[in-house]
Amino acid sequence: MSGLHEECGVFGIVGGPQTRAARATYYGLYALQHRGQESAGIAVSTGNEILHHKAMGLVSEVFDEKRLATLPGSMACGHVRYSTSGRSLVVNAQPLVVRYRGGALALAHNGNLVNAPSLRATLEQEGVIFETSIDSELIANLVARADTGNIVEAVLSAMRVIRGAYALVIMTPDTLIGVRDPDGIRPLSIGRSEDSWMLASESCAFDAVGGTLVRDVEPGEVVTLNRSGVMSHLSGLARPERLCIFEFIYFGRPDSVMGASTMYVVRKRAGSLLAREAPARGDIVVPVPDSGISAAVGYAETSGIPFAEGFVKNRYVGRTFIQPEQALRAAGVDLKLSVLVDVVRGKRVVLVDDSIVRGTTILRLIRKLRAAGAVAIDLRVASPPIVCPCHFGIDTPSRGELIAAGLDVAAVCQKVDADSLAYLSIRGLREAVGGNGSCDACFSGQYPMEVPDEGNKLGLEQAEVEHATK
C-alpha cells in the first residue's frame, strides 16, 4: 500500500446489568485498530452520567486493567482515530463528550464533512466556542443544540444540516444510537451477542467480543439500541448506497463482511480478474504485505505462476501511512519490510499491490527487490489509477500528491522503476466488488455530492487561523 491514509473506527455496545461494556469496547476497538492508530478512547454510561478516557496511542497503550476498572457500566462507545480532519492532538481524540443544558452525550465519528468550514463559521458567528479542530465537534454541537427532549429528533435535525460522509455512534446516559450518512459512504453494522447489541465499523469487531453480524445500518438510517433490540428511524434523506470502494480494496480487515462477501473473497477475486486483464511473464507472484496478499493469491491461482512471500514484515512497526509526515512514512517502510533474498534472487517478480497513491512506498520496495537480485519486476495493481482526491474521510487531500493524476501509466511505470505496470480496470473492480453501488470517485471523478475543488484535512484549523487574524 503506497501511502493512502486510514480513517477511523467506531464501536458501541449496550447490554444487561452484568455487561462490562468498557472491556467489550476495548476488545472491539482492538479488532478495529487497523482503522486508526493515533489515538483511542472509550466512554461509558453509568445510567446517570457519562465517564470517559482517551489518549494518544494504540488501544493497548491507552487502556489497561486499572483504567478499564474506572469505567463501569453496561453501555459504552469507543473510537480509534487517524487524523483525516484536525491535527494529531489529544484534544481531537474521540469519543467527544459534550455536556449541555439538556444533558450529556458522547460521540464517535468516522468520516468527513464537506461543509464543515462554512458550518463552523456560522456557529461561531452565533457565539459557539469550539475546543477542537475536528468536524466531529460540529455534529455534537448541532445535536446538543437541537435536543429538546427527543434525542432522535435532534440527530435527524443535525443530519439535515451536515453534508458528507459519516458513521456515528452516539451515546446519552440512557440511549445508544447509530447513524449512517444518506449515501452510506462510511460503513456501520449492527451485531449482537447473547445479552448485548452492538454497533461497529466492521463485523470483525463483533467476532472479537463473541458476537455476530446482524445487518448493516442503511444509508440515512438512525438506529437506537437497548438490551431488547434495535429500533429503526428513517431520516427521509436516504439515497442509493455508495459505500467507499476502498473498504473492499484496503481498509476492511480480510475477515470482515461487507455486502455479501468477506474482504478476502473480494480482494482475491480482484487479483484473479487482474491476471486475466493484465497477464505477466514471471517466475513468482509476490504480494506487498499485508493488503496485497489476497489479490496476489488470486493472481497466482489464475495465472498459474507460483505464489511466493518475497518480503518479511516486522509486526511491531505500525502501518507506514499512520505517520502524518511523509518523511516518517518513508523511513517506516525500511523498518517494516525486508526482502527474502533467496526467494527473489534471479527471479522475474510479478509484484502485486492493492493500489498506488503517491508512489513513494512502491518505489522503495521495487528498489529493495532489485538490490536483492530480482532480474525484473512486473508491477500489477488490483485497483485503477487514483486520479482524484477523496473528500469523505480518506486523507488524499490534493491531486498534486496523486502520482497517477498527472502521469499516464507508462510514466508512472518509469517513475516507480518497474519493468511493466498494469492496473485493474474500473469495470473489473466493480465486478470484483459485486456491483456498481460503491463510491469510486477517486478513480472516476464522479462524486456522490458536490465537493470542494480540493480536499483539506486541516481546513478547520486554517479557518480558525484566518478567523483569528481578521
Phi, psi of 328 (to 5 degrees): -70, -35
Q: What is the structure's pLDDT at 470?
A: 35
* Nearest in space to 84 (alpha carbons), one of 182, 12, 4: 4
Distance of CA 466 to the CA centre of its chain: 30
Does a structural domain hold residue 224?
yes
| Contact of 248 with 266, CB cutoff 8 Å | yes
**Does residue 251 lie within any of the structural domains?**
no
pLDDT score, position 440:
94
Q: CA-CA distance, 247 to 348, in Å (whole number)? A: 31
List CB contacts of 389: < 8 A, sequence separation 6 or more. 396, 397, 398, 399, 401, 402, 442, 454, 455
Which residues make Cβ contacts (< 8 Å) with residue 235, sequence separation at least 6?
156, 159, 160, 182, 220, 221, 222
Mark whether 104 and 143 lie in a shared domain. Answer: yes
Annotation says 413 is catalytic: no
Q: For the chain, give the longest Cα–Cα distance.
A: 71
Burial of 88 (0-12, 13-18, 19+ CB in 10 A): middle
Q: If 0-12 CB within 10 Å is exposed, 13-18 middle and 19+ buried, where does residue 263 land?
A: buried
* CATH number for position 327: 3.40.50.2020
Quote the cell numbers at residue 429.
473492480
Domain contains 249: no
117 preceded by a cis bond (ω within 30 of 0): no
Same domain, 66 and 208: yes
Place of cell 484534544: 91
State the DSSP code for 250. I
Q: Indicate whether 109 belongs to any domain.
A: yes
Same structural domain for residues 298 and 168? no
Known binding residue 353? Answer is: yes
74 annotated binding-site participant? no
> Was 390 annotated as part of a binding site?
yes
Catalytic residue among 8, 77, 204, 388: 8
- Judged by DSSP in three states, 245 sits in coil
- Residue 317 has a pLDDT of 57
Co-location of 326 and 440 in the same domain: yes
The pLDDT of residue 53 is 98
Q: How many Cα atoms are found within 13 Å in the side-chain-facing hemisphere of 285?
A: 26
Same domain, 309 and 236: no
In the DSSP assignment, the letter for residue 251 is I
pLDDT at 454: 58
Distances, alpha carbon 27 to alpha carbons 201, 217, 304, 456, in Å? 14, 21, 40, 32
pLDDT, residue 400, reads 84
Spans in the chain with pLDDT lower than 50: 1-2, 5-6, 84-86, 319-324, 455-458, 461-470
Q: What is the pLDDT of residues 72-91, one digit of tens each?
A: 999 999 999 975 444 567 88
In 3D space, the residue among 106, 102, 170, 110 whose CA is nearest the CA of residue 134 turns out to be: 110
For 336-376, the pLDDT digits (tens) are 889 999 999 999 999 999 999 999 999 999 999 999 999 99
pLDDT of residue 324: 45
Residues shown for the chain: 470
CATH number reported for the structural domain that contains residue 236 in this entry? 3.60.20.10
Q: Which of 211, 242, 273 is the last residue of a domain?
A: 242
Which of 209, 242, 275 lies at the terminal end of a domain, its last residue? 242
In a domain, 369, yes or no: yes
* Same domain? 440 vs 387: yes
Same domain, yes or no: 93 and 129: yes
Give the Å distances, CA to CA, from 18 to 51, 60, 75, 197: 18, 23, 11, 14
State how far the Cα of 89 lies from the Cα of 274, in Å rounded to an integer: 41
Three-state secondary structure call for residue 205: helix
- Percent helix, strand and coil across the chain, each to the nearest 5: 35, 25, 40
Question: Are 68 and 184 part of one and the same domain?
Answer: yes
The reply to whether 215 and 358 lie within a common domain is: no
Same domain, 209 and 288: no
* One domain, residues 71 and 203: yes
Per the listing, cell 500489477 goes with: 380
Residue 283 known to bind ligand = no
pTM of the model: 0.91
Annotated binding-site residue? 244: yes
- Rounded Cα distance between 87 and 82, Å, is 9
How many domains does one find in the chain?
2
In this structure, the answer to whether residues 137 and 174 fall within a common structural domain is yes
Residue 19 belongs to a domain: yes
Q: With respect to residue 459, please indicate whether it lies within any of the assigned structural domains.
A: no
Q: What angle do CA 336, 297, 31 make, to 5 degrees?
A: 55
CA distance 43 to 54: 8
Residue 456 lies in a domain: no
pLDDT of residue 346: 98
Structural domain range at position 222: 8-242
Contact present, 300 and 309 (Cβ < 8 Å): no
Instruction: Give the torsion sign (CA, 224, 229, 235, 240).
Output: positive
